[in-house]
Amino acid sequence: MNFQKIKFDNGLRLILAPQPVSSATTVMVLVEAGSKYETKEINGLSHFLEHMCFKGTTKRPTQLAISTELDNLGAEYNAFTSREYTGYYAKARNENFDKILDVVTDMYLNPLFDPEEINKERGPIIEEINMYEDLPMQKVSELFFNLVYGDQPAGWSVAGTKENILRLQREDFINYRKAHYVAQSTIVIVAGGFSAESVEEKIRNVFTALKVNKKSPKAPVVEEQGKARFSPAYKTTDQTHLVLGFRAFDVHDERRFALGILADILGGGISSRLFQKIRSELGAAYYISASPDFYTDHGLFLISAGVSNDKVEEAVRIALSECFKLKENLIDERELRKVKEHLIGHLFLSLESSDEFAVFYGSQEISGNPLMVPQVLAQRIQAVTAEEIRKVARFIFENNRLNLAFIGPLKDKDFGNILKI
C-alpha cells in the first residue's frame, strides 16, 4: 500500500497509489473549494459549479456526451462538494485509464458554463435542496452546524439558498473558478491497478495550462460559546432526529487519534456503549452513531440518532451520562483492545476498492497533513492509551462546548434543564 507524491512546478500535486491486484483504476481530482470559501451572496456556488462541470466542456459540449462516453466504458463516476473541498472522479477497468483520465480532466479544466445550461440546472439543484428539507435525518446536520457556527461560512448550507441559486450568473462561476481552481489548490490522485509507466508525464501534459494564480483564502472560523445550547425544529415526524455534539479541535491536532477511539467506544458499532444503552436496552432508536468531524481550522464530536418521540429526553440523558463516564473513568484494557481492532479492521476493509483508496490519500493531502499509509495509521491507533482518551474526554465534554439540534414533533420542548455534563 505504498504511494508516490509528486509536486509539479506550477504547484499541482499528484498522488499515485498503485494496487497491483485491483482490476479497476480511479482518477480523482480534488480542489480546495467548498462552502467555507464562499461569501453569503454566493453561498451554494461551489456545489452549483460542481454540477456545471458535468453539463458540457469545450471537447464534450453536452452532458449527454460526457455521460455517454463514461457509460460506454462501464465506468462509475460522480462528484461531491463539502465545506472545504470539491472532488471529481471516475473509476473503470484498468485498460480504460487513459479514457477516464481524459474525461475527468476535461470536465475539471474546460467547463463551458453555458448560460442556458446554468438556467436549466437551477431546477435540479433547488429540488436537491427540497429533497434534503424532506429528509430530517440529513437536515438536522445542517441545523446543528448553523447552531454551532451561526452566520458565518462554517454555519451555512453547502447547497446554499434557493434565492442564491436563482440569482447566480455565468460571471459568478468564472470569477469563483479563477479564484480557487488554481494549480496550487489542485490534487490529482490515481489509485488502483493502473500501469505506472508514463502516468506522471500524462498528468503533467494535461495540467500544464492550469493557472498558477494565488489561491484565495477562506474566512477564519470564529468560535464563540459560553454555555450549552439547543436548537429545535418542529416537524410532524414519526421519530425525532437529533445531533448532540461538542466543539473539538482541528484535523492537525495529535489528539484526533484518541478522539477517533473515543467515538468508537460510544457509537462505533453494535457493541458500542450508546447502541447497547439506547437501542438494545431502552429500545428507543434504530440508528445511533458517534464520530469525529475534523476540518482544517475547527472540529466537532457528534452523536447522531433517530429516537422515539416519547423517549428523546431519556436518550439525551443517557448519551450525556455515557460521555461523563469517559471523563471520570479509564476505559478497561479489554474494551480498548476491542475498539482498536474494530477501527483498524474497518480501515483495511474500506480500502478494498480503488475509489476509497483515492479518497484515503486525497483527504489526507487536502487537509494539509503528512500522508500516512494504512499500516502507519493503524500503528497510531494502537499507540493511544486509556489516559489519552480520558484527557480528550475531559477537554471536549464541557457545557460551553455542548450543542443539541433536533427535528421532530416536540413543540415548546425545553432541554435547558438536562443539557449539562
Tens digit of each residue's pLDDT (9 = 90 or more) over 58-102 = 999 999 999 999 999 999 999 999 999 999 999 999 999 999 999
Its pTM stands at: 0.96
For 286, list phi and psi in degrees, rounded to 5: -95, -50
Provide the residue count of the chain: 421
Q: What is the CA radius of gyration of the chain?
A: 22
Arithmetic mean of pLDDT, 190-210: 92
Q: Cell 474497518, residue?
A: 346
Hey, CA dihedral for 141, 146, 147, 148, is it positive or negative?
Answer: positive
Alpha helices in 60-198 (DSSP H): 63-72, 97-109, 115-133, 136-149, 162-167, 170-180
Confidence of residue 13 (pLDDT cuts 50, 70, 90): very high
CATH T-level assignment (fold) for domain 229-408: Cytochrome Bc1 Complex; Chain A, domain 1 (3.30.830)
Half-sphere CA count of 133, side-chain side, radius 13 A: 10
| Structure confidence at residue 5 as a pLDDT band (50, 70, 90) | very high
Tally of CB atoms within 10 A around 304: 20
Q: Residues 12-18: what's their mean pLDDT? A: 97
Q: Residue 55 contacts by C-beta under 8 Å, 6 or more apart in sequence? A: 62, 63, 111, 112, 114, 117, 121
- The DSSP bridge partners found for residue 405 are 231, 243
Question: What's the confidence (pLDDT) of residue 70?
Answer: 98
Strand stretches in 298-387, DSSP E: 299-308
Displacement of CA 257 from its chain's centroid (Å): 17
Residue written as grid cell 494504512: 374
pLDDT at 100: 98
What does the pLDDT average to over 131-135?
A: 96
Terminal C-alpha separation, the chain: 43
* pLDDT for 390 beyond 80: yes
Q: How confident is the model at residue 27 (pLDDT cuts 50, 70, 90)?
A: very high
Cell digits for 29? 481530482
Rounded distance between C-alpha atoms, residue 268 and residue 273, angstroms: 9
Q: What's the pLDDT at 1?
A: 64
d(CA 203, CA 38): 29
Would you tell me the crossing angle of helices 374-383 and 333-349 to the nearest 10 degrees? 170
Identify the helix (H) or strand (E) that includes residue 214: none
| Residue 290 reports pLDDT greater than 90 | yes
Topology, domain 4-207? Cytochrome Bc1 Complex; Chain A, domain 1 (3.30.830)
pLDDT of residue 320: 98
Q: 5 pairs with which residues across the strands? A: 15
* Residue 292, amino acid: P
Q: What is the mean pLDDT of the chain?
A: 96
Q: How far apart are CA 277 and CA 150, in angstroms?
A: 32
| Beta-strand pair 299-308/239-247 | antiparallel
Is 90 exceeded by the pLDDT of residue 211? no
**Domain map of the chain by residue range?**
4-207, 229-408
Please tell me which residue, 416 or 310, carries the higher pLDDT value.
Answer: 310
Tally Cβ neighbours within 10 Å of residue 207: 19
Return all residues near 228 (Cβ < 8 A) that are at least 6 apart: 399, 400, 402, 403, 404, 416, 419, 420, 421
d(CA 312, CA 58): 54
